[in-house]
Amino acid sequence: MLSDLLNRTEHSLNDSDIGAVADKLHGYLAGDISSLLAEAQRMCWLDDNAADLAPQIDQSSRANAKVTADHLRTAMLRVRPSGIPH
């Protein structure tokens, strides 16, 4: 599921990164994973826009902003799995 969703977005994750994140998704339903990726994309967008304030970063690096494993790990702190009872 995660790989399918990642195929639809710009990201810098390799197979090992995807596997490591997927291993931590026990209890996450399809909608949770979609929300997780949306949150990671939001954080990527915020990072990219914050870079607009940093003149030392060139335009091409900002134009190529991609979701990273760090974005997904941070998103997991914010998006909780609904498939696990509280």
Would residue 53 be called left, alpha or beta, if left means φ above 0 and alpha means ψ between -120 and 50 degrees?
alpha
Structure tokens at 61: 């690096």
Give the model's confidence band at 53: pLDDT under 50 very low, under 70 low, under 90 confident, else very high.
low
Ranges of each domain in the chain = 2-78
CATH code, 2-78: 1.10.8
Report yes or no on whether pTM surpasses 0.85: no
Check pLDDT > 80 for residue 10.
yes
